[in-house]
């Protein structure tokens, strides 16, 4: 397989994987392109490589900057903005976990906390509701705690701990 074909395959696969993380396909493709690039790229270079519009490129670059998985780079003598991706996979995984926690887990925890205060009117529906909410809240809190441990963990500690669990 030639480099250009391998690069294209990886960018397409990363685009599909990104959807699982809560990124849109183009956002993940831009991220993949920046990860495999040996040098920072401008928005124009990203547009040309991925065959996307300026608006699409700018919107997704902005979103990647908000996720803190790409960075603006100054190139001396250039007026254009350049971008590069976080290439440390451990840092990347932790940052994605932080963003998903903020966008998914924190809102449901807030909702579960609010609805767990429902008054018990003695009906079967209310009893069942309170039971299910309590179980969901407990699961969500444990998930949050696990994510917090992952986000704060050093890579060597995390993997040694995981290996102990599977022994």
Q: Which of 27, 7, 4 is nearest to 16 (CA)?
A: 27
Burial class (CB within 10 angstroms; exposed 0-12, middle 13-18, buried 19+) of 156 = exposed
Proportion of the chain in helix, strand, coil states, percent, rounded to 5: 70, 5, 20
Report the sign of the C-alpha dihedral through residues 17, 21, 25, 30, in that order: negative
The pTM of this model reads 0.77
Class of domain 3-85: mainly alpha
Structure tokens at 132: 């299910």
Which distant-in-sequence residues (6+ apart) come within 8 Å of 142 by Cβ?
A: none
**pLDDT for res 20:** 77
| Separation CA 45–CA 68 (nearest Å) | 20
Q: What phi and psi values does residue 83 have, to the nearest 5 degrees?
A: -135, 145
| Separation CA 23–CA 17 (nearest Å) | 9
pLDDT tens, per residue, the chain with 167 residues:
899 999 999 999 998 888 777 778 999 999 999 999 999 999 999 999 999 999 999 999 999 999 999 999 988 888 899 999 999 888 888 888 898 899 889 999 999 999 998 888 889 999 999 999 999 999 999 999 988 888 887 766 666 666 666 66
Residue in the structure block whose two tokens are 């994987």? 17
Q: Which of 116, 146, 140, 144 is nearest to 130 (CA)?
A: 116
């Amino acid at each position: 397989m030639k480099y250009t074909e391998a690069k294209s395959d990886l960018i397409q696969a990363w685009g599909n994987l990104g959807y699982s993380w809560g990124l849109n396909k183009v956002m993940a493709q831009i991220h993949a392109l920046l990860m495999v690039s040996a040098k920072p790229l401008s928005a124009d270079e990203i547009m040309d490589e991925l065959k996307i519009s300026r608006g699409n490129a700018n919107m997704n670059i902005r979103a990647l900057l908000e996720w803190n998985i790409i960075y603006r780079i100054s190139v001396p003598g250039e007026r254009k903005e350049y971008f590069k991706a976080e290439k440390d996979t451990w840092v990347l995984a932790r940052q994605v976990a932080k963003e998903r926690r903020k966008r998914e887990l924190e809102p449901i925890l807030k909702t579960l906390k609010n609805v767990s205060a429902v008054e018990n009117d003695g009906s079967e529906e209310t009893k069942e509701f309170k039971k299910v909410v309590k179980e969901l809240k407990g699961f969500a809190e444990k998930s949050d705690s696990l994510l917090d441990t992952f986000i704060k963990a050093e890579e060597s500690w995390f993997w040694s701990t995981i290996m102990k669990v599977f022994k």
